[in-house]
Amino acid sequence: MIIIPAVDIKNGRCVRLLQGRKDAETVFADDPAAMAAKWAGDGAQLIHVIDLDGAFKKAPRNQPSIEKILDTVNVPIQVGGGIRDEKTITMYLDAGVDRVILGTEAIRNPKFVAWACKTFPGRIVVGIDARDGLVAIEGWTQTTRTKAVDLAKRFEDSGVAAINFTDIHRDGMQTGPNIAETRRLAESVSIPVVASGGVSSMEDVKNLLPLKVVGVEGIITGKALYTGTLILKEAISYVISKA
């Protein structure tokens, strides 16, 4: 299991949103690349980058900031937010992004996601963001009637590199991850799962670690790293010690 720091970009700055709400924004840094470099220096094996403006506008909006991150760090980067077509996927992969995250399209156009998995093997991550167990799309502004577990099952044989599972109610709230739902989703598929939402302390990391046996291979954390309630180096060292 690995600890994955999040760099969320809005208007070119590194921010965190509470439960994905645009009106609940905290700016943590003016230079996302500098933050990515800090996390890379602390031992991150993968950095999770989200173009928040892209998610809301349905198309990339922060490419310059993402390109600067790619120029600054040497660790793999996964990018999500507003990725809706082959052109955007190719643009990011050609720029040096390791994996791209498809969220809304998993609901809107699952055939496209399956095609992308086959066309770009090992490079496509499906982002499943849930509110009360139901998938939310369009930058979390719309909640569907599709259950998160059911959506995950649709991609069982598509070659998805991983599923990023986020409990929206807990995202940015530092209230602890949804262990039960994360376990349930991981047990429902053979695809590797990355847990996200609510991770705020070393205790949360310890509580998620047992889920490795059911396929949870990573933990995304953002606000906790920025506020200091979780120290990346310590979390990485702990996970390595338990491997």
Report the C-alpha gap between 20 and 140 in whole angstroms.
Answer: 7
Taking only the tens place, the pLDDT of each residue in 152-170 is: 999 999 999 999 999 887 7
Which two structure tokens, joined as six digits, stand for 217? 């291979």
Report the C-alpha gap between 17 and 26 in whole angstroms.
Answer: 6
| Domain locations along the chain | 2-241
Q: Which residues are catalytic?
A: 8, 129
pLDDT of residue 24 exceeding 70: no
pLDDT of residue 11: 95
pLDDT of residue 173: 59
Report the C-alpha gap between 208 and 210 in whole angstroms.
Answer: 6
> What class has domain 2-241?
alpha beta
Is residue 73 classed as helix, strand or coil in its secondary structure?
coil
Taking only the tens place, the pLDDT of each residue in 180-229 is: 999 999 999 999 999 998 899 999 999 999 999 999 999 999 999 999 99
Is residue 51 classed as helix, strand or coil in its secondary structure?
strand
